[in-house]
Amino acid sequence: MNSQTSVVSSAVEATPFFARKLTERQKTTCRNSLIVAAALLVIAVVGTGISHRRTATASSVVEKHNSPLPVSIIAVEQIESYSRARSYTGLLRESRRSQLSFQRSGELVELLVDEGDAVTKGDVLGRLDARHILAARAQLTAQIRVAKAVLAELLEGPRKEIIAAKRAELRAHEAQEKVLEGQVARRQQLLPSGRVSREEYETILFDFEAAQARADVVQRQLEELLAGTRIEQISAQRARLAQLDAQLADIAHDLEDTALLAPFSGRISQRMVDEGTVLNVGAPVLELIDDTELEAWIGMPQRSVAALRVGNSYELDVEGQIIQAKLHSLGPDVDQRTRTRNVILRLPTDQTSVVPGLVVRLEVSENVAEPGFWVPTTALARGTRGLWSLYVVSGAEETGAIARRDVELLDTVGKRSFVRGTLQPGDRVVASGTHRVVVGQTVTTDHDSIALKSL
Start-to-end CA span in the chain (Å): 118
In 3D, which of 265, 293, 295 has the Cα closest to residue 350?
293
What fold, for 294-368? Answer: Elongation Factor Tu (Ef-tu); domain 3 (2.40.30)
Tell me which H or E stretch contains 70: strand 69-70
In 3D, which of 315, 267, 316 has the Cα closest to residue 293?
267
76-92 pLDDT, tens digit each: 999 988 887 788 999 99
Residue 304's pLDDT band (cuts 50, 70, 90): confident
Determine the Cα–Cα distance for residues 192 and 215; give it in Å rounded to an integer. Answer: 30
C-alpha torsion sign, points 262, 267, 272, 274: positive
3-state class of 157 per DSSP? coil
Contact at 8 Å (CB) between 394 and 35?
A: no
Task: Tell me the CB-side half-sphere exposure of residue 379, using CA atoms within 13 A.
Answer: 32
388-406 pLDDT, tens digit each: 999 998 876 778 888 999 9
Residue 449's pLDDT band (cuts 50, 70, 90): very low
DSSP letter (8 states) at residue 277: P
Domain 69-81+370-454 has CATH 3.10.590.10: no
- The amino acid that residue 282 corresponds to is G
pTM of this prediction? 0.52
If you write DSSP's letter for every residue of 229-272 in order, what string do you get? S-HHHHHHHHHHHHHHHHHHHHHHHHHHHTEEE-SSSEEEEEE-
Q: What is the mean pLDDT of the chain?
A: 82
- Residue 30: what pLDDT? 62
Tell me which H or E stretch contains 88: strand 82-94
Query: What are the residues facing 342 on neighbouring strands?
Result: 299
Contact at 8 Å (CB) between 174 and 216?
A: no
Determine the Cα–Cα distance for residues 239 and 228; give it in Å rounded to an integer. Answer: 20
Determine the Cα–Cα distance for residues 277 and 107; give it in Å rounded to an integer. Answer: 6
Residue 453's pLDDT band (cuts 50, 70, 90): very low
DSSP letter (8 states) at residue 67: S
pLDDT at 3 over 80: no
DSSP letter (8 states) at residue 382: E
Per-residue pLDDT, averaged over 128-156, amounts to 92
Q: Which of 62-76, 164-178, 229-243, 270-284 comes out lowest in average pLDDT?
A: 62-76
Cα separations (Å) of 219 from 167, 170, 172, 211, 227?
8, 6, 11, 12, 12
Residue that wins the pLDDT comparison between 48 and 349: 349
Residue 42's pLDDT band (cuts 50, 70, 90): low
